[in-house]
Amino acid sequence: MRDDSRARRGYTAAMPKLHLEPLIFCIAWAALAVAGFALIDWKAGVALSVGLFFLIMPTSAVILAKTSNFVLERAIRWGILIAAALVLLSVADLS
């Protein structure tokens, strides 16, 4: 079956909508882990990557399960990331 015949019949591949905010959050999270590696050492990068995963994911799940408020979940998720960045910069400044 040719591709153009599928399009005529209405069989098109459904592409999911790309949400920009989660993509920016993931890039910021990865950048924070790389900054931890660059500013302190590899252990800080791993701690920021894995540690934040174990903190952010359950927190998001609990907030969404109890309140179903996506705005609150987004604010708390970004707040945790910003707090981690401030801690990283403070520790990097001390060393």
Q: Residues 3-61: pLDDT tens digits?
A: 555 556 666 667 788 889 989 999 999 999 999 999 999 999 999 999 999 999 999 99
Distance CA 80, CA 58 (A): 12
pTM of the model: 0.77
25 domain-assigned: yes
- Domain with 33 in it: 19-94
Task: Look at residue 1 and tell me whether its pLDDT is greater than 60.
Answer: no
Cα 9 off chain centre by: 38
42 domain-assigned: yes
13 domain-assigned: no
CB-CB contact of 52 with 77 (8 Å): no
65 domain-assigned: yes
pLDDT of residue 9: 65
Distance CA 53, CA 18 (A): 22
7 domain-assigned: no
- The total number of structural domains in the chain stands at 1
For helices 20-39 and 70-94, the axis angle rounded to 10 degrees is: 10
